[in-house]
Amino acid sequence: MTTEPAAPGRDHVSGLRCVKCNATTAVGPAVYVCPGCGGNLQVEYDYPAIRSAWRRDELARSDDRTLWRYAPLYPVASRIDFPTVGWTPLLPAPKLARSIGLRSLHLKDDGRNPSASFKDRASAIALLRAREIGAELVTGASTGNAASATSVLAAALGIKTRIFVPAAAPRAKIAQLLAFGAEVLAVDGSYDQAFDLCLEATRRFGWYNRNTGFNPYTREGKKSVSFEICEQLGWQVPDLVVVPVGDGNIISGVWKGFCDFHAVGFIDRLPRLLAVQASGSAAVVDAVKGDGVIRPVSGDTVADSISVSLPRDGDAAVQAVRASQGFGVTVSDDEILAAILEVARGAAVFAEPAGAASWAGLKAAVRQGIVDPGWNTVMLITGNGLKDVASVMKVAGEPREIAPDPSQLDGMFDKR
């Protein structure tokens, strides 16, 4: 049995604020971006009302072990119980921490979500919103994970999906889409091209669009990870949260989560954020280190989930890192691939390349002296390693071959 939410979140939404020009817009069925400047929108709440209706000790007593335990801070009035999204394990990683001289390190293993990535958080909120406004068809463009997440939740809600993905997306991600019943359009091009094609389809056909960043509700789902981290650390706010960045929507969501909890008085401080990008796909980190302006890059990296030329939530991502007094680092593809094995062997978590990038980035940040070894650090592992086995095999080596003949065992091993 789960406890029902204390108050429906949607009643507390006060409007949508543009992350670029700060103008506010009312919520509406087809409102995605700022009507004035085209910037992405952020959902705003009546925080004093939530604060007076919802107490931290009441939340702490809830036996709901999903992201719905935070219902008063979501912009939807309904929930979906199966599949269960969120409340993923926060695992101590003492071995990894020791290897780089950190006092405390935890991994948030979001590969344990229903479609095996962090993206289920975003799709849960975005698809409930779709259902609440009566949308019959949801479209989305994705490097793969956002699409799998959309498809699994759409299957549960009985909503049709039409998904645009780069044809070169890892096979496991395409297999998930097909298995969940999505209509898959494999775009002979990049993620950025798939994104633009999907936007054009939305304009022409009026489908509900779940695209990362463009849809303001994706950030609202992603923020749930920060709520969980605070609770799972016994209401401690970490000093540093490490986030792999592509479009920048996870990191802006992580920041929004901590800010929302702060605004309702559940926490009294905020963490720093460390944005990690692949060196070939580093538009957000370049902007953080430079003048704050997002400029397109090649997007080349082995980590397909963070392979983005023009980050679609870049402005909010840069604002989040800067507001947190955080940092950005870049890592090479070799460092990312090596990190898959290190996280697997050092913390027993199997990460896809983008997820392992967190660890590669944390190591780089420690080497560069920007992380205080005393900081209580949490790193997001955003996708499961089974999503992209081909990348793992580039560094994992090959198994030893053996014929099914007992004589083959002669002299092969020492007796123990």
- Nearest distance from C-beta of residue 351 to ligand PLP, angstroms: 8
Among 15, 39, 83, 265, binds Zn ion (CB under 5 A): 39
Q: Which is nearer to ligand PLP, 104 or 143 (CB)?
A: 143
Q: Which is nearer to Zn ion, 39 or 189 (CB)?
A: 39
Residue 382 near ligand PLP by CB under 6 A:
yes
Q: Which is nearer to ligand PLP, 159 or 275 (CB)?
A: 275
Residue count, binding to ligand PLP (CB under 6 A): 21
- Nearest distance from C-beta of residue 286 to ligand PLP, angstroms: 14
Identify what 329 binds: ligand PLP, Zn ion, none; CB under 5 to 8 Å per kind. Answer: none
Interacting stretch for ligand PLP, rule CB under 6 A, among 57-65, 152-160, 244-252, 361-369?
Answer: 244-252
Identify what 37 binds: Zn ion, ligand PLP, none; CB under 5 to 8 Å per kind. Answer: Zn ion
Among 244, 257, 326, 385, binds ligand PLP (CB under 6 A): 244
Residue 209 near ligand PLP by CB under 6 A:
no
Residue 145 near ligand PLP by CB under 6 A:
yes
- Nearest distance from C-beta of residue 61 to ligand PLP, angstroms: 32
**With left for phi above 0 and alpha for psi between -120 and 50, is residue 325 left, alpha or beta?**
left
SS3 for the chain is CCCCCCCCHHHHEEEEEECCCCCEECCCCCCCECCCCCCEEEEEECHHHHHHHCCHHHHHHCCCCCHHHHHHHCCCCCCCCCCCCCCCCEEECHHHHHHCCCCEEEEEEHHHCCCCECCHHHHHHHHHHHHHCCCCEEEEECCCHHHHHHHHHHHHHCCEEEEEEECCCCHHHHHHHHHCCCEEEEECCCHHHHHHHHHHHHHHHCCEECCECCEHHHHHHHCHHHHHHHHHCCCCCCCEEEEECCCCHHHHHHHHHHHHHHHCCCCCCCCEEEEEEEHHHCHHHHHHHCCCCCCCCCCCCCCHHHCCCCCCCHHHHHHHHHHCCCEEEEECHHHHHHHHHHHHHHHCCCECHHHHHHHHHHHHHHHCCCCCCCCEEEEEECEEHHHHHHHHHHHHCCCCCCCCCHHHHCCCCCCC
Q: Which is nearer to ligand PLP, 69 or 119 (CB)?
A: 119
Q: Which residue is nearest to ligand PLP (CB)?
A: 383
Identify what 21 binds: Zn ion, ligand PLP, none; CB under 5 to 8 Å per kind. Answer: Zn ion
Among 4, 24, 29, 37, binds Zn ion (CB under 5 A): 37
Q: Which of residues 253-312 bind ligand PLP (CB under 6 A)?
A: 305-306
Residue 166 near ligand PLP by CB under 6 A:
no
Identify what 305 binds: ligand PLP, Zn ion, none; CB under 5 to 8 Å per kind. Answer: ligand PLP
- Nearest distance from C-beta of residue 31 to Zn ion, angstroms: 12
Residue 161 near ligand PLP by CB under 6 A:
no
Residue 20 near Zn ion by CB under 5 A:
yes
Q: Which is nearer to Zn ion, 310 or 396 (CB)?
A: 310
Among 13, 16, 18, 135, binds Zn ion (CB under 5 A): 18
Interacting stretch for Zn ion, rule CB under 5 A, among 30-38, 165-173, 218-226, 328-336?
Answer: 30-38
Tokens 């023009």 sit on residue? 310
Phi, psi at 292, each rounded to 5°: 85, -5
Sequence-distant (6+) residues with CB within 8 A of 232 are 90
Distance from C-alpha of 161 to C-alpha of 294, rounded to nearest angstrom = 31
Residue 354 near ligand PLP by CB under 6 A:
yes
Which of 176, 29, 118 shows the shortest CA–CA distance to 163? 176
Distance from C-alpha of 305 to C-alpha of 239, rounded to nearest angstrom = 26
User: Cβ distance 385 to 392 under 8 Å?
Assistant: yes
Q: Which is nearer to ligand PLP, 307 or 377 (CB)?
A: 307
Residue 114 near ligand PLP by CB under 6 A:
no
- Nearest distance from C-beta of residue 300 to ligand PLP, angstroms: 16
Among 104, 113, 115, 117, binds ligand PLP (CB under 6 A): 117
Which of 7, 28, 75 shows the shortest CA–CA distance to 222? 75
Residues that bind Zn ion (CB under 5 A): 18, 20-21, 23, 34, 36-37, 39
Residues that bind ligand PLP (CB under 6 A): 117-119, 143, 145-146, 212, 244-250, 305-306, 352, 354-355, 382-383
